Amino acid sequence: MLPPTDATPDDPGRRGFLATSAGLAAALAASSIASLGLPGIARAAMPASSPATQHGVNPMSSFVTVKDGAQIFYKDWGKGQPVLFAHGWPLSSDAWDPQMLFMGSNGYRVIAHDRRSHGRSSQTWTGNDMDTYADDLATLIEHLDLKDVILVGHSTGGGEIAHYVGRHGSRRVAKMVLVGAVPPLMLKTATNPHGTELGVFDGIRAGTAGDRSQFFKDLAMPFFGANRAGSKASEGMRDSFWLQGMAGGVKGQYDCIHEFSEVDYTEDLRRIDVPTLVIHGDDDQIVPIDASGRLSARLVKGAELKIYAGAPHGLTATHAEQFNRDLLAFAKA
């Protein structure tokens, strides 16, 4: 039995450390991305989100309390039409920083949350299931009163946003983007012959429950295609993957493996009734395209499929410039 972890974001020392670390990371990221010529990043401060701190300063990150008392960390930057990002396993909202900086600098309000038991959100013993993830997302969207939001989900986050619409409808949603997303079903079955064998997911469970730290270091290689000749993956990308993964709770990450591998999102996809863009790399070693992106594009009415030649699962990092360009064009269309 895995031991419970009940750490919450309430400890003042932890909050201070996280705030300082987040501020330093944002400053370094802004400096780096400014060198790539993104408009206004080095010059303009990000507008703040609505909640105020006890010191009277509007933060760019906060927490929302959901129905079971868990606290969900989120970032809320900029002004304009909202774009909400849902991250993959075992990562956090930090995985979306390049896209948030880019879209925020191009006139959009950008929001990203840490799924429960990931990143800075509460590490819960129960509730680490897709129904609860979708309900947590609904609480956040309602808390921020988001309207005409563009939902962007990578990997497990793609399942999360699809299930949100399947469970809560699309009243607040303008568009959706599924990136290297797990729907409709990752598991190989008689009716899903291109899926992945159950034994592979059992191996992920064993790695997560065992030497999780080393497992995440090993997993980062195929995640970013670093095991391929000519890979664009940097050591920094792999280090960031490990750091984000180790910030999460092992029990929630362990439970989540079932949610991204064995949950069937087919009916959720069929309920999507807003313009949808499906982006997938044809060298995705984690979520192979034939059992995911290609099928999702057929199941979502009117969906557009963009295939990135040679791109890995972590294409939002390795192919960030291409992905950002396509995301902005889709948002503006």
* Active-site residue list: 155, 284, 313
* Helix, strand, or coil (residue 86): strand
Which residues on neighbouring strands pair with residue 176, listed in sequence order?
A: 151, 276
Peptide bond into 288 cis (omega under 30): no
Structure tokens at 149: 């939001």
CB atoms within 10 A of CB 63: 21
Candidates 175, 39, 48, 27; CA nearest to 106 is 39
| Partners of residue 83 on adjacent β-strands | 110, 150
- CA pair distance 130, 259, nearest whole angstrom: 6
Its sign, for the CA torsion 237, 129, 278, 63, is: negative
Rounded alpha-carbon distances, angstroms, from residue 150 to 113, 211, 250, 269, 275: 14, 37, 30, 16, 10
Pair 81, 110: CB distance under 8 Å: no
How far is Cα 303 from Cα 307, in angstroms, rounded to an integer?
13
